[in-house]
């Protein structure tokens, strides 16, 4: 794979950092950028690390990379990723030139504002602990519609408006970045999203020096299972740094339920919480969260555990929640659950919240599955 022909176009409302990957355009468009430095390929290289692993090919850079990043990738991070993914060959990034392109003479802090539980808990933590935060960010790196799928633009714009309103309430500027880097990756977004999101921060060319990444899991829930970089964000992100930039995972001791508990009285969360996986349906319903998808129901049910669901009546349809929750709990009881689902279900059990009706619905789901297996 060859990266070449880097350029920066400065327009009135946005900037476009672009280069070619094997002759095809790969780009970042940004609302904010540091335009006073030499151009480096760092953001493109980091975005394409999942593709390096998928294709098991080196990345050749016909231009300049940050010297610290190049060494860190080749000596530490790529070998560790190869080990996790059981790749036996040696893979490298090979630039024409390396230099310490940008002096790290400032500390500009930023974190994401998707308005999900993790990002809102991170923002609240900064303000609660009087830690300086300079920018909030909102990225389009594939999560709003996988690989430019249907409704990706509509999802992005619907979620962005909510985050813009939240940023105004918080009182910080929102850095918006869009990239097409995800369109080159064949695997699932989950296998790439950490690197894609960090690449968006790097694309600001040193405007952001320290990025606080709201990872999905606490350290106690992390592992080195391949397939989803969220599994090992806590361990690998501190290894991803340059002469001008570093990153780490936030809220490392807080599990998802603890994070929900942490934001239950946060006025920004009460007004702007956005965790829905079906934003198109939510938009049609004129509600922030559809309150029907699994993530909506799990989050709302957790808030019910803390007697705080009524505080979120602006972002959930509570009538839908009460009509759907029995079937959702039954489904969880009857299937193999994820880490976050197990954490929630254990708490639901501990509080004796499971009803006879929910057990009965779960039994019917299991019976139906068994009969279907026997029939096939």
Structure token digits, residue 171: 């009182």
Position with higher pLDDT, 276 vs 193: 276
pLDDT, one tens digit per residue, over 312-332 is 999 999 999 999 999 999 999
- Sole residue written with tokens 């394409």: 48
**Among 120, 122, 164, CA closest to 270:** 120
Distance CA 226, CA 59 (A): 21
Distance CA 240, CA 45 (A): 12
Neighbours of 169 (CB within 10 A): 12
Which residues, 6 or more positions from 137, have their beta carbon under 8 angstroms from its beta carbon? Answer: 110, 111, 112, 113, 174, 175, 176, 177, 200, 201, 208, 211
**Is residue 249 within 8 Å of residue 112, measured between CB atoms?**
no
What per-residue confidence (pLDDT) applies to 155? Answer: 84
Of the given ranges (57-66, 104-113, 213-222), which has the lowest mean pLDDT?
Answer: 213-222
Report the pLDDT averaged over residues 25-42. Answer: 91
Residue 48 has pLDDT above 60, yes or no: yes
Structure token digits, residue 354: 């499971």
What per-residue confidence (pLDDT) applies to 200? Answer: 95
Residue 93 CA from chain centroid, whole number? 25
pLDDT, one tens digit per residue, over 152-185 is 778 888 999 999 999 999 999 999 999 999 889 8
Could you state, in order of their start, the residue ranges of all structural domains in the chain? 2-249, 278-375
Distance CA 125, CA 263 (A): 9
Neighbours of 324 (CB within 10 A): 19
Parallel/antiparallel/unpaired status of strands 93-99 and 246-249: unpaired
Report the pLDDT averaged over residues 287-303. Answer: 95
What per-residue confidence (pLDDT) applies to 118? Answer: 94
pTM: 0.90
Distance CA 298, CA 331 (A): 12
Report the pLDDT averaged over residues 107-121. Answer: 94
CA angle 332, 334, 340 (to 5 degrees): 30
Beta-bridged to residue 19, according to DSSP, are: 26
User: What is the overall mean pLDDT for the chain?
Assistant: 89
Beta-bridged to residue 24, according to DSSP, are: 21
């Amino acid at each position: 794979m060859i990266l070449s022909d880097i350029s920066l176009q400065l327009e009135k409302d946005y900037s476009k950092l672009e280069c070619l990957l094997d002759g095809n355009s790969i780009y970042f468009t940004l609302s904010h950028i540091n335009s006073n430095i030499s151009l480096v390929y760092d953001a493109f290289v980091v975005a394409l690390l999942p593709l390096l692993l998928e294709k098991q090919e080196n990345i050749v850079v016909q231009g300049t990379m940050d010297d610290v990043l190049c060494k860190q990738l080749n000596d530490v991070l790529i070998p560790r990723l190869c080990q996790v993914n059981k790749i036996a060959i040696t893979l490298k990034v090979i630039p024409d030139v390396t230099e310490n392109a940008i002096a790290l003479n400032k500390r500009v802090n930023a974190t994401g504002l998707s308005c999900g539980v993790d990002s809102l808990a991170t923002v609240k933590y900064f303000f609660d602990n009087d830690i300086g935060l300079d920018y909030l960010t909102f990225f389009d790196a594939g999560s709003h519609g996988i690989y430019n799928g249907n409704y990706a633009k509509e999802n992005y714009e619907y979620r962005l408006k909510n985050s813009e309103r939240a940023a105004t309430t918080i009182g910080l500027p929102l850095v918006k970045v869009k990239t097409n880097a995800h369109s080159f990756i064949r695997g699932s977004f989950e296998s790439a999203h950490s690197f894609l999101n960090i690449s968006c921060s790097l694309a600001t060319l040193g405007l952001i020096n320290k990025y606080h990444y709201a990872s999905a899991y606490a350290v106690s829930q992390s592992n080195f299972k391949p397939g989803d970089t969220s599994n090992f964000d806590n361990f690998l992100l501190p290894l991803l740094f340059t002469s001008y930039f570093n990153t780490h995972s936030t809220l490392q001791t807080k599990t998802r339920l603890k994070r929900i508990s942490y934001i239950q009285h946060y006025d920004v969360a009460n007004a702007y919480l956005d965790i829905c996986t079906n934003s198109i349906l939510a938009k049609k319903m004129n509600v922030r969260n559809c309150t029907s998808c699994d993530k909506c129901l799990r989050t709302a049910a957790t808030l019910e555990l803390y007697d705080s669901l009524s505080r979120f009546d602006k972002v959930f349809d509570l009538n839908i929640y009460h009509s759907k929750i029995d079937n959702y709990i039954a489904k969880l009881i009857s299937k193999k659950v994820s880490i976050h689902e197990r954490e929630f279900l254990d708490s639901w059990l501990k509080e004796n919240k499971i009803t006879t009706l929910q057990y009965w619905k779960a039994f019917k789901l299991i019976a139906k599955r068994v009969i279907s297996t026997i029939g096939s």
